[in-house]
C-alpha cells in the first residue's frame, strides 16, 4: 500500500511480506506528512491504527535516502525512539528487524536499556530507549545536532512513569540548539489538551501540527446506502465480487458479513486469509466468554472483518462501515429486522 510514495524498495517488499494490503486511515495520512519533513507533530491515535509502522517506515526511509557523498560529520546522526519500558523497546526493535529484512544497505538498530551500553564513538542509526538513558547520553556528549528524528512514543505513559523531569531537560536542550531534530509525539489514551501533555509539549515545541486520527469516523448521514448484486445462480461470483471490492480498496474499516452456516463462515475466513486479511467467525457454538472476547477485539479494531452466522443476539458495535449479506434473505422485512437487531452505534 506504499505505491505512489518515494519509499525504498526493500521497505516496500518487507511491508508486502507482512501481508499489509490496505493502509489504515492514519498510515494513509501520516506517512506522507512525515516524508515531507513536517518538523513538529503531536499525533492522537486509536488502538489498531498502525502508528508503529508509520513512524518506522519514515525513519528507515530517511536513513536509506541519505546522500552517499555526505560528510562523515553529517553521517553521524541517530534517530531516537523514546518509549516507557523494556517490553515496548523490544517490541519496536523486533518489528524493526522485520521491516529491514529486504533492505540492501545495512541499518543498525539498537535497543538501549542502560546508558553505558552504547558506544558514543559509533552511534547506531536508530536507538530505542527511555528518557532517562537519553538524558544521560546527552549529558555525556550526544549533541542535539546528532539527533535527526525524535519519536516520543505514547507520551501519556512517559508521564505516568514519572519521566517528566527527564523529558523537560531533553526538550530544553534540543530547543536551545541551532540544529533541531524532527520531533513527533504520540498519544493514545488521553487528549492533547491534557495539562500534563501541554506541560511537556512546551519544552519541545512552541508550535506543532496536531493531528487526530480515528480508526473510523461516523458518517453524518443517518441512513445506510444499499447495494444489491445477484450472484445466487453462480456462488463463485460472490467470491469474485469480494475479490474485486478488495482490489478496488472498497472494503476497509469495520465490516460485518452475514452467512447462513458456520461452514460457510469458515470458508470465507480462509478466503480472506489468502489476501492477508484477518477475519474471524462469531460462531454461536463458541463459549459465551470467547464470543465476548472476539467482539471486544473487533470493537478495538484488532481486526476489521467479523463474520456472523444466522441470527445473532444483539451486537453493540461502533463505527461499522459495511454490512454484507452473503446470502439473500427471505424477504425485506427479515433484512431490516436483522439490521436493527445488530444494534449499530455511530455506524456509517
More confident of the two residues 40 and 341: 40
Contact 11, 60 (CB under 8 A): yes
- Which of 247-251, 293-297, 309-313 shows the lowest per-residue confidence on average (mean pLDDT)? 309-313
Q: What angle do CA 48, 50, 55 make, to 5 degrees?
A: 150
Contact of 170 with 183, CB cutoff 8 Å: no
Model confidence over 132-176: pLDDT tens digits? 999 999 988 898 889 999 999 999 999 998 899 999 999 999 988
Could you tell me which of 332, 297, 291 has the C-alpha nearest to residue 314? 291
For residue 208, what pLDDT is reported?
A: 80
pLDDT band at 313 (very low <50, low <70, confident <90, very high): low
Neighbours of 170 (CB within 10 A): 26
Q: Which strand ranges, in their side-by-side order, compose the sheet holding 126-129?
A: 109-111, 126-129, 78-82, 147-152, 182-187, 40-44, 209-212
* pLDDT over 70 at 75, yes or no: no
Residue, of 84 and 222, whose pLDDT is higher = 84
List, in order, residues 6 or more apart from 66 with CB less than 8 Å away. Answer: 75
Encode pLDDT of 202-224 as tens digits.
899 877 888 887 654 433 333 45
What 3-state DSSP class applies to 45? Answer: coil
How confident is residue 101, by pLDDT bands cut at 50, 70 and 90?
very high
Of 61, 51, 73, the residue nearest 12 (C-alpha): 61
Cell of 238: 460472490
pLDDT score at 19: 63
Check if the beta carbon of residue 286 is closer than 8 Å to that of residue 262: no
> Please, are residues 190 and 224 in contact by the beta-carbon 8 Å criterion?
no
- Helix, coil or strand: residue 232: coil
C-alpha–C-alpha distance, residues 130 and 223, integer Å? 48
Confidence class for position 333, pLDDT limits 50, 70, 90: low
Residues of the chain with pLDDT > 70: what percent? Answer: 82
The residue written with cell numbers 531533553 in the block is: 170
* Residue 126 confidence class, pLDDT cut points 50, 70, 90: very high
158 touches 81 (CB < 8 A): no
The pLDDT-based confidence of 52 (bands split at 50, 70, 90) is very high
Q: What is the DSSP letter of 209?
A: E
Residues of the chain with pLDDT > 90, as a percent, come to 33
Mapped to the 3 state alphabet, what secondary structure does 253-313 carry?
CEEEEEECCHHHHHHHHHHHHCCCCCEEEECCCCCHHHHHHHHHHHHCCCCCEEEEECCCC
pLDDT at 232: 65
- For residue 250, what is the DSSP state? -
Q: What is the mean pLDDT of the chain?
A: 83
* Residue range 311-323: mean pLDDT, rounded: 69
Listed in order, strand segments (DSSP E) in the chain are 40-44, 78-82, 109-111, 126-129, 147-152, 182-187, 209-212, 254-259, 279-282, 305-309, 320-325
Q: Is 71 exposed, middle or buried (0-12, 13-18, 19+ CB in 10 A)?
A: exposed
Task: Look at residues 51, 42, 43, 80 and name the one whose alpha carbon lies nearest to residue 201.
Answer: 42
**Residue 121: its pLDDT value, please?**
80
Residues 37-50, mean pLDDT to the nearest whole number? 83
Per-residue confidence (pLDDT) for residue 69, from 0 to 100: 64
Amino acid at each position: 500500500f506504499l505505491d505512489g510514495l518515494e519509499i525504498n524498495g526493500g521497505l516496500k517488499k518487507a511491508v508486502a511480506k507482512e501481508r499489509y494490503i490496505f493502509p489504515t486511515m492514519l498510515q494513509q495520512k501520516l506517512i506522507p506528512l512525515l516524508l515531507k519533513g513536517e518538523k513538529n507533530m503531536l499525533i492522537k491515535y486509536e488502538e489498531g491504527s498502525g502508528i508503529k509502522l508509520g513512524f518506522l517506515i519514515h525513519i528507515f526511509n530517511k536513513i536509506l535516502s541519505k546522500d552517499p557523498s555526505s560528510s562523515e560529520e553529517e553521517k553521524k546522526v541517530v534517530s531516537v525512539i523514546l518509549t516507557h519500558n523494556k517490553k515496548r523497546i523490544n517490541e519496536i526493535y523486533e518489528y524493526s528487524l522485520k521491516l529491514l529484512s529486504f533492505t540492501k544497505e545495512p541499518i543498525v538498530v539498537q535497543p538501549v536499556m542502560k546508558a553505558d551500553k552504547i558506544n558514543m564513538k559509533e552511534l547506531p542509526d536508530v536507538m530505542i530507549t527511555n528518557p532517562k538513558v537519553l538524558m544521560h547520553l546527552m549529558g555525556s556528549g550526544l549533541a542535539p545536532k546528532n539527533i535527526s528524528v525524535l519519536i516520543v512514543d505514547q507520551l501519556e505513559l512517559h508521564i505516568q512513569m514519572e519521566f517528566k523531569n527527564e523529558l523537560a531537560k531533553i526538550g530544553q536542550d534540543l530547543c536551545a540548539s541551532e540544529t533541531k531534530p524532527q520531533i513527533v509525539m504520540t498519544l493514545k489514551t488521553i487528549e492533547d489538551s491534557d495539562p500534563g501533555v501541554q506541560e511537556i509539549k512546551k519544552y519541545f515545541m512552541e508550535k506543532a501540527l496536531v493531528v487526530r486520527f480515528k480508526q473510523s469516523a461516523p458518517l453524518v448521514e443517518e441512513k445506510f446506502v444499499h447495494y444489491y448484486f445477484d450472484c445466487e445462480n453462480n456462488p463463485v461470483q460472490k467470491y469474485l465480487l469480494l475479490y474485486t471490492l478488495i482490489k478496488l480498496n472498497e472494503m476497509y474499516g469495520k465490516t460485518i458479513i452475514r452467512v447462513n452456516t458456520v461452514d460457510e463462515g469458515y470458508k470465507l475466513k480462509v478466503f480472506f486469509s489468502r489476501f492477508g486479511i484477518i477475519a474471524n467467525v462469531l460462531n454461536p457454538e463458541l463459549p459465551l466468554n470467547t464470543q465476548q472476547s472476539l467482539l471486544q477485539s473487533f470493537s478495538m479494531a484488532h481486526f476489521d472483518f467479523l463474520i456472523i452466522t444466522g441470527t445473532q443476539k444483539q451486537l453493540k458495535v461502533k463505527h461499522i462501515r459495511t454490512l454484507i449479506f452473503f446470502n439473500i434473505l427471505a424477504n425485506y422485512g427479515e433484512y431490516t429486522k436483522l439490521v436493527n437487531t445488530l444494534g449499530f452505534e455511530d455506524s456509517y
